[in-house]
Amino acid sequence: MAKEIIIQIRDLIKSYSRKVAINGVNLDIYKSEIFGLLGPNGAGKSTLLSMMATVSKPTSGDIYIKDISLVKQAHLVKKLIGFVPQEIALYTKLSGIDNLKFWGQVYGLRGRVLQERIEYVLFVVALQDRIKDPVDHYSGGMKRRLNIAASLLHNPQILIMDEPTAGVDVESRRCILSAVKKLSEEGTTVIYTSHYLEEVDGICHRLAFLKEGRIETVGTMAELEGYFATSNKKTK
Ligand SMILES: Nc1ncnc2c1ncn2[C@@H]1O[C@H](COP(=O)(O)OP(=O)(O)OP(=O)(O)O)[C@@H](O)[C@H]1O
């Protein structure tokens, strides 16, 4: 069966005043795929993700999510996307559950539907036990897992994660990777950036290597083995 393309990135450019951060990216991403985006510091990974997440606008080009133009109809695209940025977006004085209730209401969820979504997302990130504790008692890894849970409340079809395992403990890293696999198996498309080739190797169906705002190569790990071996790529 032909794979369904869910994201089409076309001739994408993002310029800041002195810097072209994304310089003509074209890319297709499939439904249910775990797609890894690798590249050294400053390659443009976060810039690309922030455009996919509708947080920043392209200078030119477009991204189509299920054929909806992100440039023309960002409000429709937003509903399809969950975004986990590098910075943790939580109210640290509130408990984990109160954070989820708050974010759920921001997404327009109420009552029983909100309750069921909270139960599901807590199950996905395996964070049921400490959910009544204030967030400032959480480890960095637990905060990140809560952030991922919050980004899943509105049941997005695409989850965009900017270095979700950076700086987290081993247990949280294991939980996050297992959540990513579970979501993909259930039909969610996951875009995932990392500095670590060995991490995306184990989990991503395909990956792209970004350098100076351009995609140098894209494929499965098996397809890219030669590329990484011959060029002795470092991702940092
Ligand atoms: N708001 C901004 N204004 C000006 N330049 C920016 C801005 N944001 C990013 N840049 C520049 O764009 C380029 C790409 O940055 P970006 O953060 O997307 O890279 P990255 O691959 O995510 O790096 P890292 O792995 O360090 O997070 C860098 O040269 C960066 O300095």
Residue extents of the structural domains in the chain:
35-51+84-231
Please give the pLDDT value at position 59.
Answer: 97
Q: What is the pLDDT of residues 80-109, one digit of tens each?
A: 999 998 887 899 999 999 999 999 999 999
Please give the pLDDT value at position 213.
Answer: 97
Instruction: Please work out whether the CB of residue 37 comes within 6 Å of at least one atom of ligand 1.
Output: no
Whole-angstrom distance, CA of residue 125 vs CA of residue 105: 20
Please give the pLDDT value at position 229.
Answer: 76
Please give the pLDDT value at position 232.
Answer: 55
* Burial (Cβ within 10 Å: 0-12, 13-18, ≥19) of residue 202: exposed
Asked if the 35-51+84-231 domain carries CATH number 3.40.50.300, the reply is yes
Region class of 66: left (phi > 0), else alpha (psi between -120 and 50), else beta: left
Average pLDDT value for the chain: 92
Whether the model clears a pTM of 0.90, i.e. scores above it, the answer is yes
Whole-angstrom distance, CA of residue 37 vs CA of residue 155: 23
What are the C-alpha distances in Å from 22 to residues 29, 110, 164, 215? 17, 39, 21, 9
Test site for ligand 1: of 20, 22, 41, 52, most ligand atoms within 8 A of the Cβ: 41
Instruction: Please work out whether the CB of residue 230 comes within 6 Å of at least one atom of ligand 1.
Output: no
Positive/negative CA dihedral, 166, 167, 170, 175: negative
Nearest CA, atom 25, ligand 1? 41
Please give the pLDDT value at position 202.
Answer: 80
Q: Write the DSSP string, 112-128.
A: HHHHHHHHHHHHHHT--
Structure tokens at 76: 């429709």
- A 10 A CB-CB count for 177 gives 17
Atom of ligand 1 nearest to the CA of 210: 21
Please give the pLDDT value at position 233.
Answer: 52
Please give the pLDDT value at position 231.
Answer: 64
Nearest alpha-carbon partner for 178 in 219, 124, 138: 124
Q: Write the DSSP string, 26-52.
A: EEEEETT-EEEEE--TTSSHHHHHHHH
Whole-angstrom distance, CA of residue 178 vs CA of residue 126: 10
* Burial (Cβ within 10 Å: 0-12, 13-18, ≥19) of residue 130: middle
Task: Give ipTM to 2 decimals.
Answer: 0.96
pLDDT in tens, the chain (236 residues): 678 999 999 999 999 988 999 999 999 999 999 999 999 899 999 999 999 999 999 999 999 999 999 999 999 999 999 999 888 789 999 999 999 999 999 999 999 999 999 999 999 999 999 899 999 999 999 999 999 999 999 999 999 999 998 888 889 989 999 999 999 999 999 999 987 787 787 889 999 999 999 999 999 988 988 877 776 554 54
Please give the pLDDT value at position 100.
Answer: 96
